[in-house]
């Protein structure tokens, strides 16, 4: 089935917002066997929207609209779609009740203009929106369908998972199954080279590689008549992939590295702590982003200055003055100090330079990452040296965090392999 | 002049790539007084591209195309544009010479198919591309113009600055100036209500409101004959806005709150520290995201467990056992402990529940945020209670951070207002 994705919003035409909804929806739709033919963006102007919508419904059978469902005067998507499909807007009691509830729960007064959001085109299928105030809906006529979603990406993702995805099943011809494998420690070109014998000439399942910041993911997809057949084909291919690059894979289910690490720590009831200089709290954040992290992470130290490293983590002053703040010894003593202070089983520490500039003799992107075990684990420690050769602060900080996570991941795998810990529960 | 931005590339329709070129070009064009009316994306299919290009040239006078200028078979933008404008593709000696030079300089052999990139539609204005191999060009006929740029964003930016921007001067009618104001502490609907007398019936300058997570931005734009007139109109409108909502504004220049706070701290040589429970390092991260943060932030404490609060920040055990970890007293003693430990001038602390679940009797989204001053500042402290009524962990953590930042911001403004500090340098 051919699809158009039509975004409504002047802020997109001003260039203030990037149309990430279009790429998100395209990915989801392609995964389900739809052909996305066009993306369009139009401003908050009902005449131009109407013309573009009519064109799009002529060109393709399904049009997914995003934006313009808000409470304000310039939000006119719903009115325009209703007009094009020749439907009235009707007051929907259930939508209104949920709107009122939404505001009550937040202890806020509902503005008068929010009431507009409870009107829905006659005969439309409503998708209630727990992530915001605007309900989404689908409307069908003469083999054509329009689905209207709000603009904020968070709401689009929520609604897609809670209603829209199921609704789309009526249009599927084949069943599509895909799995996303995450790797770390191998570049995209190398990954592609190693997997070439599997990728070359492969029609189904397909294998696609994507480089993300500092890591690579693989997407294995199959479209078959039944879900079972597609799943079997994907799993068989993953077994082949595993033979070639198993050592680099940390998730077979598209789970981010911070979640994988937190779940492993939970599984073994291990306590982690961190001592951060260059990442300035970003590592602790990435760990505590995972719900339930409090079970395995109790203390985090952000020691951004040399004095903080000495005062809080007992890094000896002479090590810093002799070897410099960005050194293996400082990273190791930071880890030791944090391990001791927090009474943890594993400590990870980073000292380095995130950029964009660096102290004389140093380069942005350089860092030492040390880890140390103790507590319930045998005492071990190690340190790696990283040079990203980049000066983008955000990129470097993110990459340092990933390498800290992957260090912790390897530590736990080793412990697991050597049978040093009993599995809990 | 009305403009369409037309991107060509199947990777965009697969959702593999986000169309950042469209937002970049939109910003540039709006700044120069053009009206961007549409963004379109079409795959590498000459028939659909042709139809969409013809439509776009009917709807708008200028069409900027990106993508499809590469050396491979599916790159057909140039051929299609030439056909629509009724021009031949001619071999361009200068383009060929530069292509050959490009490969020679890099010590690479030019593939045979690259030669295709030296063909240009008859009568077109060529923009040589130092950032890649595909030359860009503009073609005009009957008051309509198409400008073809390659797909890679780096090349688009380079070409825009080196040729395209100057070329566009022939079409400028008006000069556009806009400013983006950032606010915190007021919702979008309320903002619009308060500003309604300014927004209603306003033709120029225009005022648009945008909700972002936990904050709102306002865009004030004016198009006038000269840049000076437009600037004056925008500034006059901002003075009116300031009268109505000045207390909520933290930046008149679209600067994120963490940058505003770090720059203020730098200005007054004040040292900040943080004691984080619910945000788990996210606050320290947001501060250290700003280059130069090391001047004003040396220590950060992530005390995720009750024991960590006691051990690291000297929060008395009986306060926690009597009043609970999520309490005003714990937040205040955390701030006091951090202030003391770090020897800072300002400490901010948070204890709360990020969600998605909460301890019995607590709700996700509840938090206490305390701040305390000392060091070079008079001793003061205060605490606020927040209830977001949401259970999304990411949203809550981000919101808590924003409120911590805005607390620090208010503290410094107060200090500034009361003349308690000399301005440095």
Q: Tell whether ipTM is more than 0.85.
A: no
Closest residue in chain B to residue A39, using alpha carbons only = B41
Closest residue in chain B to residue A20, using alpha carbons only = B18
Tell me how crowded residue B8 is: count the other CB atoms within 10 A of its CB: 28
Q: Is A47 on the interface with B (CB under 8 A)?
A: no
Chain A residues with CB under 8 Å of B299 CB are 302-305, 308, 311-312
Asked whether the beta carbons of residue A37 and residue B52 sit closer than 8 angstroms, the reply is no
Residue A22 CB partners (closer than 8 Å, separation 6+): A5, A7, A39, A66, B12, B15, B18, B19, B41
CA distance, residue B26 to nearest chain A CA (Å): 5
Residues of chain A with pLDDT under 70: 422-425
**A 192-211 near B (Cβ less than 8 A):** 210
| A281 closest CB neighbour out of B55, B282, B291 | B282
For chains A and B, CB pairs below 8 A equal 248
User: What is chain B's percent helix, strand, coil content, to nearest 5?
Assistant: 45, 25, 30
Asked whether the beta carbons of residue A300 and residue B280 sit closer than 8 angstroms, the reply is yes
Asked whether the beta carbons of residue A300 and residue B298 sit closer than 8 angstroms, the reply is no
Question: In the prediction, which pLDDT does A227 show?
Answer: 87
Using alpha carbons, list the distances in angstroms from residue A97 to A10, A82, A115, A117, A277.
30, 22, 10, 11, 50
Q: Is B96 on the interface with A (CB under 8 A)?
A: no
Chain A residues with CB under 8 Å of B29 CB are 15
Per-residue pLDDT band at B422 (split at 50, 70, 90): low
Question: In the prediction, which pLDDT does A201 show?
Answer: 76
CA distance, residue B94 to nearest chain A CA (Å): 34
Report the C-alpha gap between A352 and A364 in whole angstroms: 8
Each residue of A225-243: pLDDT tens digit?
888 999 999 999 999 999 9
Residue scoring higher pLDDT (A214 or B124): B124
| A43 closest CB neighbour out of B12, B37, B304 | B37
CA distance, residue A418 to nearest chain B CA (Å): 30
Candidates A285, A295, A404: best to mutate against B (most CBs of B within 10 A) is A285
Q: Is A40 on the interface with B (CB under 8 A)?
A: yes
Question: In the prediction, which pLDDT does B71 show?
Answer: 81
Please give the model's pTM, rounded to 2 decimal places: 0.77
Q: Is B381 on the interface with A (CB under 8 A)?
A: no
**A 120-139 near B (Cβ less than 8 A):** 131
Per-residue pLDDT band at B125 (split at 50, 70, 90): very high
CA distance, residue A42 to nearest chain B CA (Å): 5
Chain A residues with CB under 8 Å of B20 CB are 18
Tell me how crowded residue B414 is: count the other CB atoms within 10 A of its CB: 13
Chain B residues with CB under 8 Å of A281 CB are 276, 281-285, 287-288, 300, 302
Chain A residues with CB under 8 Å of B352 CB are none
Q: Is A13 on the interface with B (CB under 8 A)?
A: yes
Chain A residues with CB under 8 Å of B43 CB are 37
Per-residue pLDDT band at B425 (split at 50, 70, 90): very low
Chain B residues with CB under 8 Å of A341 CB are 311-312
Asked whether the beta carbons of residue A36 and residue B15 sit closer than 8 angstroms, the reply is yes
Question: In the prediction, which pLDDT does A214 show?
Answer: 74
Asked whether the beta carbons of residue A356 and residue B291 sit closer than 8 angstroms, the reply is yes
Residue scoring higher pLDDT (B365 or A207): B365
Each residue of B268-324: pLDDT tens digit?
999 999 999 999 999 999 999 999 999 999 999 999 999 999 999 999 999 999 999
Candidates A107, A277, A300, A391: best to mutate against B (most CBs of B within 10 A) is A300
CA distance, residue A66 to nearest chain B CA (Å): 14
Question: In the prediction, which pLDDT does A359 show?
Answer: 84
Q: Is A111 on the interface with B (CB under 8 A)?
A: yes
The answer to whether the beta carbons of residues B177 and B228 sit under 8 Å apart is no
| B297 closest CB neighbour out of A13, A304, A341 | A304
Each residue of B48-79: pLDDT tens digit?
999 999 999 999 999 999 999 988 777 899 99
The two structure tokens encoding residue A224 = 């078959």
Asked whether the beta carbons of residue B208 and residue A302 sit closer than 8 angstroms, the reply is no
| A300 closest CB neighbour out of B291, B304, B395 | B304
Closest residue in chain A to residue B22, using alpha carbons only = A15
């Amino acid at each position: 089935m051919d699809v158009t994705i039509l975004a409504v919003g002047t802020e997109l035409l001003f260039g203030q917002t990037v149309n990430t909804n279009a790429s998100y929806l395209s990915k989801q739709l392609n995964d389900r066997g739809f052909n996305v033919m066009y993306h369009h963006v139009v401003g908050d102007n009902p005449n131009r929207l109407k013309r573009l919508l009519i064109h799009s419904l002529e060109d393709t059978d399904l049009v997914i609209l995003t934006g313009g469902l808000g409470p304000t005067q310039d939000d006119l998507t719903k009115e325009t779609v209703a007009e094009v499909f020749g439907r009235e807007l009707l007051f929907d009691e259930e939508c209104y009740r949920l709107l009122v509830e939404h505001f009550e729960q937040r202890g806020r007064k509902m503005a008068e203009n929010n009431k507009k959001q409870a009107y829905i085109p006659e005969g439309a299928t409503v998708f209630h929106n727990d992530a915001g105030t605007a309900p989404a809906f689908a409307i069908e006529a003469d083999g054509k369908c329009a689905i209207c979603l709000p603009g904020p990406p968070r709401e689009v993702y929520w609604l897609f998972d809670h209603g829209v995805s199921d609704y789309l099943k009526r249009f599927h011809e084949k069943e599509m199954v895909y799995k996303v494998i995450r790797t770390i420690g191998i570049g995209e070109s190398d990954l592609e080279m190693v997997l070439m014998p599997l990728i070359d000439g492969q029609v189904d399942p397909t294998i696609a590689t994507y480089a993300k910041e500092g890591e690579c993911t693989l997407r294995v997809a199959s479209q078959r008549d039944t879900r079972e057949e597609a799943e079997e084909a994907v799993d068989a291919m993953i077994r082949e992939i595993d033979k070639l690059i198993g050592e680099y894979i940390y998730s077979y289910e598209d789970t981010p590295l911070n979640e994988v690490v937190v779940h492993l720590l939970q599984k073994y009831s291990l306590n982690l702590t961190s001592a951060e200089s260059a990442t300035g709290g970003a590592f602790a954040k990435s760990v505590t982003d995972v719900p339930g992290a409090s079970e395995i992470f109790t203390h985090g130290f952000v020691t951004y200055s040399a004095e903080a490293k000495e005062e809080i983590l007992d890094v000896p002053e002479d090590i810093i003055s002799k070897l410099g703040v960005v050194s293996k010894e400082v990273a190791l003593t930071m880890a030791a100090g944090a391990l001791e202070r927090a009474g943890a089983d594993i400590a990870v520490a980073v000292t380095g330079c995130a950029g964009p500039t660096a102290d004389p003799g140093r380069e942005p992107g350089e860092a030492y990452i040390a880890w140390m075990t103790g507590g319930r684990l045998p005492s071990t420690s190690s340190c790696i040296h990283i040079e990203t050769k980049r000066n983008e602060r955000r990129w470097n900080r993110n990459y340092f965090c990933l390498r800290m996570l992957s260090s912790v991941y390897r530590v736990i795998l080793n412990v697991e392999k050597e049978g040093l810990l009993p599995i809990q529960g």
